[in-house]
Amino acid sequence: MWVIAWAKNVDLFSDKKELTISFNSVAGLTPGDLVAVNGVKKGIVESITLDGNTVLVKTTLDEDVDIRSDAAFSIMMLDLMGGKKIEISPGSSHQQIDYSIVQSGLFSGDISTAMATLSGMEQNIKNIIEELSITLSAVNNILVDDKFASDVKNTFSELNSLSKRTSQLIDENRVGIKSLIDSSKILVTTTNEFLQNNSNALTRTIDQTSTLVENSNRFIVKMDSLMKEIQSRENNIGKLLYDEQFYDDLRTSLENLKELTNILIEQLKNEGINVDAKINLF
């Protein structure tokens, strides 16, 4: 470590800050590699240890480093030769970072991981290119088809003709269209003036209509109550309509009246009306 520190031009006797960062993978990061803050060298990697499925990277940072609680840590490529470094984005929180807590970092990837990813996508890319080739061939076959070209030409010709006819129709009826628009404006204006001039009358009409509806509702309620009373024989009308004795008496009276009428008619036809009355004055 002394040799590495000397090679990296690190002063071991100055005050340092220690910070441990956890990564899923360090991809070849080694002790002594650079630790940068916003691209400025501010420390080195002291040690790298496995901790289950993660890797703990212990770093030493210069005393003047100001890292906040929302800082971000990532492993990046140092150069095209494959070197690695830890890049720290110091953050902007009002609270400083707690150096005693293990921070979580991210491996941003490098050329080797990118190539591995592309290798895994090779078959998908090949399939996409083949499908694209088939699509382009189909499009080319359509474009070179004389019938398709003729249909497209006819379609555009018909669209052009339709556009001309529409324009001609508008030109020929421009006066009528203008008159229709003017009439619509006059109608709207007249309607607005009518509503403004008769707003009070309309309001009274609406109020009167509302009153009429309320009175009608009350009348309907009363009629409904009356019909219920009639059906339940709670009033005289109900008693008359549903009293069987009343109907029997009325029928008997009508029959007697009919019989009396027949007797009178018969007497009038013969000898006149005979009155058989015994009057005892004394």
CA angle 212–215–217, rounded 5-degree value: 110
163 occurs within a structural domain: no
Domain for residue 49, yes or no?
Answer: yes
Q: Who wins on pLDDT, 271 or 85?
A: 85
Beta partners for 103? Answer: 21
pLDDT at position 79 over 90: no
User: Would residue 100 count as lying in a domain?
Assistant: yes
Asked whether residue 189 is domain-assigned, the answer is no
The string of pLDDT tens digits covering residues 143-170 is 677 777 787 778 888 888 888 888 888 8
pLDDT for residue 68: 94
pLDDT reading at 5 higher than 60: no
Q: What is the pLDDT of residues 176-185, one digit of tens each?
A: 888 888 888 8
pLDDT attached to residue 103: 95
Q: Is residue 42 part of a domain?
A: yes
Share of the chain above pLDDT 90, in %: 26
Q: pLDDT tens, 244-272?
A: 777 677 788 888 888 888 887 877 777 66
Higher pLDDT: 90 or 251? It is: 90
- Confidence bin at 239 (pLDDT 50/70/90): low
Residue 69 in this model has a pLDDT that exceeds 80: yes
Residue 213 has pLDDT above 90, yes or no: no
Asked if residue 212 belongs to a domain, the reply is no
Could you tell me which residues come within 8 angstroms of residue 16 by beta carbon, excluding any fewer than 6 positions away?
43, 60, 61, 62, 63
Confidence (pTM): 0.39
Count of the separate structural domains present in the chain = 1
Instruction: Please give the residue that has the higher pLDDT: either 8 or 101.
Output: 101
In a domain, 28, yes or no: yes
Q: Mean pLDDT for the chain?
A: 80
Closest alpha carbon to 9 in 48, 38, 37, 43: 43
pLDDT at 76: 87
Q: What is the pLDDT of residue 9?
A: 46
For 46, the domain range is 2-109
User: Residue written as tokens 């006066």?
Assistant: 175
**Quick one: which of 74, 71, 76 has its CA closest to 89?**
71
Residue 187 maps to a domain: no
Q: Is 75 exposed, middle or buried (0-12, 13-18, 19+ CB in 10 A)?
A: buried
pLDDT of the residue at 111: 57
**Cα–Cα distance, 246 to 47 (Å, whole number):** 120
